[in-house]
Amino acid sequence: MRELALAGFVAITFGLGSYYATNHFGAFSLANLSLGGLGLLAALVLGARRLRFTGGPHSRPVVLHGLGLVLAAIVIAFSAERGAHHADVRLDWTFEQRYDLDASLVDLIEQLPGLKISLFYDPLDPRIRRTRLLVDEIARHGKKVRVKAYKIDKVPEKLEDYGIGSSNSLLFRRKDRYQVVERPTEGAIYEALYRLLSVEAGVIAVLRGEGEGDPEVTTDLGYGGLASMLATEGYEIRSLVTMSVREIPDDVDLLLAIAPQRGIQPVALDAIRRFLARGGGLVALLEPGVESGLEEILAEWGLRSPDRVVIDPAFGESSGTEAQGVCPLVHVYESHPITRGLDRNHMTFFCGARTFELRKPEVEDELRAVAQTSARAWLSDDLGVLDRRGRSVEHAGEAQTYRPIAVAGRYVRDDVETRILAIGDSDFASNRYLRALYNLDLIMNGVHWTAEREPQIQLRPKIRSTVQFPLPVADSLQMLYGVGLLVPEALLIVGGVVWIRRRTA
């Protein structure tokens, strides 16, 4: 009986633990909860059968003593819970600290006094409790925040007015503006509140016409996600067709070039040179195998980029869709405003990148390799490795060392400051990879730095997961179910059974 109760308790603990860690019921958690429940039920039945033999005068004190201990434990637990509730004591024991708001979100909430939050829910929706806790935490950090909850079938007019389509949706209102979040996570709420804040950050001109990445495309290969985030954080996005460019408009703060696939017209390149000379900013995302003319301009500012492919065997395991080493995970960052908060546990991911060689045009210039590969990286002249799937790339004696993938330059000429950010990959900012690891933070903070808006640099709350080492927690646990959870669970059960039998021997 005791062995069954122990096994059932351990199984239920592991089942609930995996559910709260991954935020969903998988096969592992369901199997543990089912078997654990059956084990506890069987132990209860066996225990009830033994009660027939505890009716004697010698057994009653023992039974009463045990019942008294159980009752005392229940009273203490209930009193502690009520006391913590009235004292407003909160402990976030979730694996990802899901209810400890990110500092960037707290700062944003404090800038929105008088915020109104409405929760629309179905009483049978199991997600409501989690969302209520998150909303309560937001209200604690805000000024004059008002929170209301509505059953979704009682307010059809509000659903129609605000476009609410499902249960567990949040409506944020401030003055005459509102935002709807249908899947409440810290990242989604952060982006919605940033839109309410309505910050004007400047004008970004996106180069078009030479096969550049398209900021209006929402498929995996497009850059609609990046354009949306730039607009969310206050930038006005304009298209600038290079074929017709003779001069960059004076109200443009920043040029964004997303991997041009053909050579940019000399007239447009000269216009870009003049723009940089008068203090404009440039963010250039390059790709191996292409010479667009931007490479020549970058070299003039000390950011030379050889047309070779970075191979990093240390952090470039193949996923079966590319050659091994071609898609490195980067965790080596130089101290710089762009990399604030990035470290070994906050990586960025690139796929098919080229590198840079830094040489100051003038002594006072500031050039930084803000993101680099591991020390085992080398360069390949064979651009065909970008099309090989799952194959290893032969090392032909090329020197292995750190290879810069993202570089930044700050230049002061005649009291005019120019800033340039160059990254040897564009895929990392595409819709497919933008929210992988901390890619979004790198490109957004790079834009803010280049536009001279350092106060907006920060790590943003994640849409899906707040902890990535480097994979999301849910993915990591799913891969570890077979060994990482099952083995320690079995060891606990076996060890507990042996201990119980030795005590009762």
What pLDDT score was predicted for residue 409? Answer: 98
What pLDDT score was predicted for residue 255? Answer: 98
One domain, residues 232 and 360: yes
Q: How confident is the model over 44-82, as pLDDT tens digits? A: 777 666 655 555 566 667 666 666 776 887 788 778 767
Mean pLDDT for 381-386 is 84
One domain, residues 123 and 147: yes
Q: Are 9 and 40 in contact (CB under 8 A)?
A: yes
Mean pLDDT for 15-38 is 72
Q: Is the pLDDT of residue 439 over 50?
A: yes
Last residue of a domain, one of 195, 212, 231: 195
Q: Which domain holds residue 166?
A: 103-195
One domain, residues 323 and 406: yes
**Measured CA distances, 366 to 284, 315, 358, 408, 415 (Å):** 17, 29, 10, 8, 15
One domain, residues 186 and 315: no
One domain, residues 232 and 187: no
Q: How confident is the model over 334-367, as pLDDT tens digits? A: 999 999 999 988 999 999 999 999 999 999 999 9
What pLDDT score was predicted for residue 50? Answer: 64
Q: Identify the residue with better confidence: 9 or 124.
A: 124
Q: How confident is the model over 441-456, as pLDDT tens digits? A: 999 999 999 999 998 8
Last residue of a domain, one of 171, 195, 219: 195
Q: Which domain CATH number covers 434?
A: 3.40.50.880
One domain, residues 56 and 135: no
Q: Is the pLDDT of residue 469 over 50?
A: no
Which of 213, 234, 208, 209 is closest to 224 using CA atoms? 213
Q: What is the DSSP string of 78-109?
A: HHHHHHHHHTT-----STT-TTS--HHHHHHH
- 454 located within any domain: no
Band (pLDDT 50/70/90 cuts) for residue 189 is: very high
Q: How confident is the model over 85-135, as pLDDT tens digits? A: 666 566 665 555 666 788 889 999 999 999 999 999 999 998 898 899 899
Mean pLDDT for 146-151 is 95
Band (pLDDT 50/70/90 cuts) for residue 477 is: very low
- What value does the mean pLDDT of the chain take? 85
Number of domains in the chain: 3
- 78 located within any domain: yes
Q: Are 115 and 139 in contact (CB under 8 A)?
A: no
One domain, residues 384 and 433: yes
One domain, residues 107 and 22: no
One domain, residues 190 and 212: no
Q: Is the pLDDT of residue 480 over 60?
A: no
Who contacts 471 (Cβ-Cβ below 8 Å, separation ≥6)? none
Mean pLDDT for 288-308 is 96
Q: Is the pLDDT of residue 258 over 90?
A: yes
Q: Identify the residue with better confidence: 92 or 240.
A: 240
One domain, residues 312 and 445: yes
- Spell out a b/e string for 246-263, using b for 16 or more CB atoms within 10 Å of the CB, else e: eebeeebbbbbbbbbeee
Last residue of a domain, one of 195, 227, 243: 195
- 457 located within any domain: no
Parallel, antiparallel, or unpaired: how do β-strands 116-121 and 146-151 relate? Answer: parallel
One domain, residues 360 and 378: yes
Number of helices followed by number of strands (H, E) in the chain: 13, 18
Type of residue at 377? A
Q: Are 488 and 5 in contact (CB under 8 A)?
A: no
Q: Is the pLDDT of residue 473 over 50?
A: no
